[in-house]
A and B are shown apart, each in its own frame.
Chain A
Amino acid sequence: MNFLGYERPDGQVGIRNWIGVISVMDNINPITRAICGAVDGTIPITTLFVRGQFGRDLEIAFDTLGGMGRNPNLAGALVIGLEEYSTGQIADRIANTGKPVETVILQQTGGSIAATAEGTEKAAALVAEASSLRRKDLPASTLTLGVECGGSDTTSGLASNPAIGRAADRLVDDGGTVIISETSEFLGAEDLFAERAVDDSVKQAFLDRVLGHEKASMERGLDIRGANPVADNIKGGLSTIEEKALGAMSKAGTRPLVGVLDYGESPVHKGMHFMATPAPAVESMTAFAASGCQLIAFSTGVGNIIGNYVSPTIKVSGNPKTVVKMPINIDYDVCPIIEDGRTITEVGDELYEYMLDVSSGTKVASEILNQRETAISRFEPSI
């Protein structure tokens, strides 16, 4: 199937046409927000930390900020930094996409007012340039979808996750790419998911990520598996850890696992991927955006409304109370699976059509209401 998207110089396809204003470090965030407040068509990509980070964490921070800048939903980027070196680290990571990239370096411009003024002028020029681009009819094979859940309950495993899974299968069948993340959610059924791997190296890479996560937790003295399913899960009807994990991973559909990615890493193949990320949604979705996902499908039961700035986030719920209590924050209601006896296949197919509508420009709640956030995972202390 097709949708209307924006072609980028590197051959990728965007479903939005924003200018990203990117903070290189936390100390520059107020300037980024001021520029975005002044220029329509921009989105702020702010971050905590970076200053004083080192080793793997600093690489993740640079790669994630650069990755979000590279995301084809951005027509161009304006990188706001404190000093030259780190600003160049981000700008250089974006420039080889062929998209326009501008920088503002506070220590060179002389103060926040001058930096904000320079950034506002540059952002305005980038928005004007981007606005001349037009959407074209493009195949769904150009899309990468991240699948996520948060605020899960019984209905997540019965309706919203399987419906997203069906839509994910449709996208893979159309030649597109799907990424599921949240490493800890696989514990207990990782061997079942591993059976979907296309070959032994993919299978081993997946198992290494999940079992390594378990080992790291145990080394810190944490028990993340023994208490699963917890008492309220059992009261709710979940019998085994396999059942709980399968409910979460049902949002990944049923197609073969073709690749394993680290935090924010871009897929090189089409098809179904796993990405190793922490479970909290904002961190996980930030990694999706950095990897190039243009779109996220987010399953929620009791209600979790947050979205990502770069990748429009479709909130899907099959909880009849939630869709009545917070309709303004829920984009897609899959309650008919429970309420009206409609099949997961039918509802998932309709959800897939809605995903293509969103890809063509239909706005989701978290965009309209600006319920969006960025959080880059960190694994080590700062200096």
Chain B
Amino acid sequence: MTRAILLNESDNVATLIDDGSSGDDCLLQGEGSGAVKLGRDIPFGHKVAIADIGVGGEVIKYGQVIGLATEVIPTGQHAHVHNIESRRGRGDKSA
């Protein structure tokens, strides 16, 4: 069984509490229910998108914006450093 916790009902990512494999129906628990089909292998502790997130879209966990999507993150896809960018601490982008 592959499960993920939704920490706030307004979140668009959930955190896996099992190691998930591509094609798994990942069951949502916590502050939401239902399932998403995983688009790739996603490890324990990592996040899966539970709604489509557009380029530049807000990635929401704990009901708060944890970063912006750098590319389209479709439902079921792994949401992590390869497609989420922090809005903070980017010394490389400051003058």
Contacts and interface: CB of A to CB of B under 8 A. Distances in A.
A364 B75 CA distance: 44
Contacts of B66: 239-240, 242-243, 246
A241 B17 CA distance: 21
B47 A239 contact: yes
A344 B8 CA distance: 9
Interface residues of B, number: 32
B93 interface: no
A239 B91 contact: no
Contact of A242 (B17, B29, B65, B79): B65
A158 B7 CA distance: 7
A234 B81 contact: yes
B5 A226 contact: no
Interface in B19-69: 29-31, 43-47, 59, 61-67
Nearest to B80: A239
A230 interface: no
Interface residues of A, number: 27
B5 A337 contact: yes
A101 to B, nearest CB: 45
Contacts of A246: 61-62, 64, 66
A250 interface: yes
B15 interface: yes
A254 B61 CA distance: 14
Interface in A217-236: 225-226, 228, 234, 236
Contacts of B64: 189, 192, 242, 246
A226 B43 contact: no
Interface string A240-269: 111100110010001000000000000000
B67 A343 contact: no
Given A242-B67, A247-B62, A343-B30, A162 B88 contact: no
Interface of A: 154, 158, 162, 188-189, 192, 225-226, 228, 234, 236-237, 239-243, 246-247, 250, 254, 337-338, 341, 343-345
